[in-house]
Amino acid sequence: MEQREFVVEAEGAGQRIDRFLSAEDTGLSRSALQNLVAQGHVLCNGSPVVKSLKLKAGDTILLEIPDAAPIAAVPQEIPLEILYEDAHLLVVNKPKGMVVHPAPGNPDGTLVNALLWHCKGSLSGIGGEIRPGIVHRIDKDTSGLLVVAKDDATHIGLSQQMAVHSVERAYQTVVYGGFAQDEGFVETNLGRSQTDRKKMAVYPANAPHTKYAYTGYRVLERLGEFTLLECRLKTGRTHQIRVHMASIHHPVAGDPVYGPHNCISSLHGQCLHAKTLGFIHPITGEALRFDSELPEYFTHFLATLRRGRT
């Protein structure tokens, strides 16, 4: 069970405890927090509370987050596009619409289920039962390249490269609007939105419960009311490219979360592809770099935009 402790500052005095906790970076919705209050998993100064409790400055809040009920990740014979594989790792081109690992609402049909079948259980254990081998993730409706570790030493080595931002990750995306400049970058902190806990938002550098994020971008093609960009990540925060592009008023085409209300439904999610992946093999020391073809949904959309320009 995870435990999180918070001290109520002067500006939090007078707030209901559920509202106070929903503003903190717990990763939980307000309704989930209310359920934890009702189950006795929230203590104020050592005593269980009710959700209507109003806080005072200096109160100490202890939030207990019970371990999630295990979801059995079972091997499933699902086709995979594997660009590279050896005894230690493999590089997979994930299709749009595939979830990376099991979670409530997506118990199977995920990349992990497919990997368990393909690798016959030979995946690193660091990610736990639900995320074996998974070093990094991309969103369900983002397509493209992922590296998967087969053993713990490889997993640790890849994670260390991710931590120091030495992994090359280049995405291609179609965004709304035109750019006067040919390249630029977005540099902000990212954290959970205070109004919608399922979304991320940009914050100033010193904002609490946020993390630094940097996205560089380069114009590849101007397509009238849209632009094809290459985005390169120094960091890999949740929804990073989608949030950063929306923050500069160039949301990703088809993005139902950060894009306009009348998003392009025919894209079935954001037009975003993890195209290039490069890293040093943690065991052999070899420099590896992979590039994937743009998927059909992406090339079809580009062709439509190009026809509109002629």
Share of the chain above pLDDT 70, in %: 93
8-24: pLDDT as tens digits? 888 888 988 888 888 77
Average pLDDT of the residues in 136-155? 93
pLDDT above 60 (res 259) = yes
Structure tokens, 224: 């009238």
Whole-number average pLDDT of the chain: 90
Of 7-16, 130-139, 217-226, which has the strongest mean pLDDT? Answer: 217-226
Structure tokens, 305: 């935009």
Q: What is the per-residue pLDDT for 269?
A: 95
**How many residues are present in the chain?**
310
When pLDDT is cut at 50, 70 and 90, the band that residue 133 belongs to is: confident
pLDDT above 70 (res 310) = no
Q: What is the per-residue pLDDT for 68?
A: 52
CA 17/CA 177 separation, integer angstroms: 42
270 Cβ neighbours under 8 A, 6+ residues apart: 139, 141, 142, 173, 242, 252, 253, 254, 255, 256, 259
Could you give phi then psi for residue 34, rounded to 5 degrees? -65, -40
Q: What is the per-residue pLDDT for 239?
A: 95
CA 185/CA 84 separation, integer angstroms: 31
Q: What is the per-residue pLDDT for 21?
A: 85
H helical segments located in the chain: 17-22, 30-38, 111-119, 152-163, 240-247, 296-309
pLDDT above 90 (res 95) = yes
pLDDT above 70 (res 67) = no
When pLDDT is cut at 50, 70 and 90, the band that residue 140 belongs to is: very high
Higher local confidence (pLDDT), 26 or 225: 225
Do residues 121 and 113 make contact, with C-beta atoms less than 8 angstroms apart? no
Q: What is the per-residue pLDDT for 129?
A: 59
pLDDT above 60 (res 70) = no
Angle at 239 between CA 234 and CA 242, to 5 degrees: 90
Q: What is the per-residue pLDDT for 22?
A: 80
Catalytic residues: 139
Share of the chain above pLDDT 90, in %: 61
pLDDT above 80 (res 309) = no
Higher local confidence (pLDDT), 134 or 177: 177
Higher local confidence (pLDDT), 153 or 32: 153
Cβ density class 37-65: b for 16+ within 10 Å, e for less: beeebbbbeeeebebebebeeebebbbeb
What pTM value is reported for the model? 0.76
> Within 10 Å of residue 256's Cβ, how many Cβ atoms?
15
CA pseudo-torsion sign 112, 113, 118, 124: positive
CA 31/CA 189 separation, integer angstroms: 26
CA 73/CA 21 separation, integer angstroms: 31
